[in-house]
Amino acid sequence: MAEYFNISLYDIVHDNATWEDEQVVAALQYTVVNESHLVMCSVAKLGNDMDTYEYPEFTSFVEPEVQKCDGSTVMTGGSLEVIDLVHRIVLDPSGGFVMLWTPREDDIVIEVQVATAGYVGVGFSPKGGMKGADIVLGWVDDANKVFLHDRYSDGYTVPKVDESQDVELLGGYQNDTHTVLRFSRPWVTCDHNDFRLSDDTVRIIWSYANQDPSNEMTMKIHDKRGTKSVFLKERPVILPSITDDIKFWDIAPSNVKRSNVFVKKLDLEHDMCLRS
């Protein structure tokens, strides 16, 4: 299950890979058909009014309000306006490369937060390798200028700058620990060097180096890099806000003595509340 580390339950359930495992699907179907998944609820005296319960209305898709910056690929850095990016994935197992994104009708807004003062790359790759990948590469220099290029790679060399620049830099900055870049990119561009982002899972490649490039085409090889499959068009579910009718239960197994339980303090990122 290490592959699911740092991924929300929602993302796991919506991951195609989960449903490709016949045993997992069979087990889920069995519990639903036999209603054994409801046992927990009846034991806890929840769900008595399930037939009549109406789920409150919620928004299934939110569009962030973003301030566009006239499509230039160089701008002066500064702190970024806080927007509601609806998905988040940690790409580097050490936690150094976090990608956030929001799918919109015609394009996608992506933000990368990377533990480096050097360059940062994120790309879409047909097979998960560097060769043939459509890459967005950027950095913030010491004068606080933000650079971002739409590129492609034809081998293990510095990715070439596309003639057609189809990414729009929305902002970026660098602080003592991180470089943050935010941009948008249409799902489909007219550039043959760009990857067509479809409704399917996309192989994202990522990399970063601890040094900025000395110019557009002179940079050293990445210090860290990797690949991860991500479903970019995932629609987010925004849960209803917590109101007075939310109840909380502590669930504890009856046959386990408290002294036997080892509780480790975790930095949990997700929680779940149940309505009755």
Closer of 56 and 126 to ligand HEM (Cβ): 126
Closer of 83 and 166 to ligand HEM (Cβ): 166
Q: Which residue is nearest to ligand HEM (CB)?
A: 121
CA angle, residues 223, 227, 232, in degrees to nearest 5: 130
Q: How far is the CB of 121 from ligand HEM (least distance, A)?
A: 3
The answer to whether 61 touches 43, Cβ cutoff 8 Å, is no
d(CA 254, CA 7): 30
Closer of 87 and 224 to ligand HEM (Cβ): 224
- Please state, as a whole number, how many other Cβ atoms lie within 10 Å of the Cβ of residue 3: 10
DSSP 36: G
Closer of 87 and 149 to ligand HEM (Cβ): 149
Q: How far is the CB of 133 from ligand HEM (least distance, A)?
A: 6
Closer of 98 and 137 to ligand HEM (Cβ): 137
What are the C-alpha distances in Å from 139 to residues 17, 98, 234, 264? 33, 15, 28, 38
Strand order in the sheet with 168-174: 87-90, 97-103, 107-114, 179-186, 168-174
Q: How far is the CB of 137 from ligand HEM (least distance, A)?
A: 5
Per DSSP, helices labelled H in the chain are: 9-13, 16-20, 22-33, 39-43
The answer to whether 217 touches 157, Cβ cutoff 8 Å, is no
Binding site for ligand HEM (CB under 6 A): 121-123, 129-131, 135, 137, 156-159, 205-207, 219, 221-222, 225-227
Q: How far is the CB of 136 from ligand HEM (least distance, A)?
A: 8
Closer of 83 and 181 to ligand HEM (Cβ): 181
Q: How far is the CB of 240 from ligand HEM (least distance, A)?
A: 38
Q: Can you say how many angstroms the Cα of residue 275 is from the centroid of all Cα atoms in its chain?
A: 27
What are the C-alpha distances in Å from 238 to residues 81, 149, 228? 21, 33, 25
Q: How far is the CB of 104 from ligand HEM (least distance, A)?
A: 22
Q: How far is the CB of 119 from ligand HEM (least distance, A)?
A: 7
For residue 165, give the 3-state DSSP assignment.
coil
Closer of 75 and 130 to ligand HEM (Cβ): 130
